[in-house]
Amino acid sequence: MEKNWMTNTDMIKTSSQRCLKRLLEEPPDNVAKRKPAPQVPHPPTTGLSPFAGTRNPSPKSSQSKAPSRVGQYTLVERYEGEEVYRAEHSQTKKQFTCQVLSLHSYQDFLIAYNRIGQHESICSLLDTVICGDRAYVFLSGHYGDMHTYVRRWKRLSEDEMRHLFTQVLNAVSHCHQHGVILRDLKLRKFVFTDKNRTRLALLSLNDCTVLYGNHGDDSLTDRHGCPAYVSPELLTNGKGSYSGRAADIWSLGVSLYTMLVGRYPFQEMQPAALFAKIRHGAFSLPEWLSPQAKCLIGCMLRKSPAERLKASELLMHPWLTSPSRPHRSTHKTQRSSQQVLQIKQEDNQVVPTWTEKAQ
């Protein structure tokens, strides 16, 4: 059933983004003098925790409702998060992913797709329907996004992640080589393209920036990103420029950490506290992670942008290139009930619940 309202979680997300906007537009000194933000009685947005639950929707929202029929497509249901829908062709019944964009965003979207061409780890643009001031972009159908997958399984094995993260890096490296900076990188941007959930692809190039002229100069000045994935330099450089590629690499580090550990490396209930942790740049790594996995995460989550490896260099890291056991694509159906119970008990120790933190 299509949702046409804003949940409490969406309200918190909006608050987080406003806080992020203030921090990005003001010098650090002004931020330090600001009074602490009042406590919000709701759980944090999924941008602050991958396991924050969704509240019951409130009908008192002015969020626009997309039409259920667009051209020859029917918008079946809205995915959690951004304005993205599962769509079905009225004649062939084939499944698609529909992303709704403004016409201005659609122009940038097309430029980016023309720049990168076809790639196996990036969802292809299949069709577009222009309706008024909006563009309905139809991409390949998928079997769920990585954010939902991590929320379900809490944390993933290194063998599985070695296989999946290689595909993530291939997509990002390809974009960077063609002068496309993704900016808003997060787990939700990557989706499974097969039923066994062994193949990942970047859902779309929405919110990206295309570099012109010298692709080597990736200096950006606009601030954009999900609060949990934003890099320290976006919070500390005031209105100065920053490296777009290096900011993407930081977001990849947050993603890999979350997939392997089951929580974000920087996690707080309040946005201001979250951004303070990110600016500091210190995080902890569980002892049970392999040394190579710790090294790879450390190569991305470097406070200094110049010290972060490039996406093409990360693909040569020993954690990805060293031999590993065969990947078991159906691992979730092969676990015994005792193993599942043990995993849940371990996850309760790794991932705090928000009711416990509120006490």
Q: Indicate the length of the chain as a whole number.
A: 359
Contact in structure between 142 and 307 (CB atoms under 8 Å):
no
CA 182 to CA 208: how far, in whole Å? 4
What is the three-class DSSP state of 161? Answer: helix
Q: Hey, what are 292's tokens?
A: 């190579």
Single-letter residue type at 242: Y
CA 14 to CA 270: how far, in whole Å? 13
CA 236 to CA 20: how far, in whole Å? 12
Residue that has been written with the tokens 């808003």 in this structure:
184
* Per-residue CA distances from 43 to 3, 115, 263, 266, 272 (Å): 20, 40, 15, 16, 15
H-run or E-run covering 240:
none
Q: Hey, what are 81's tokens?
A: 């998060």
207 has catalytic annotation: no
Contact in structure between 151 and 50 (CB atoms under 8 Å):
yes
CA 80 to CA 153: how far, in whole Å? 18
Q: Which of 29, 133, 159, 184 is catalytic?
A: 184
Q: Hey, what are 201's tokens?
A: 């692809």
Residues annotated as catalytic (active site), given as ranges: 184
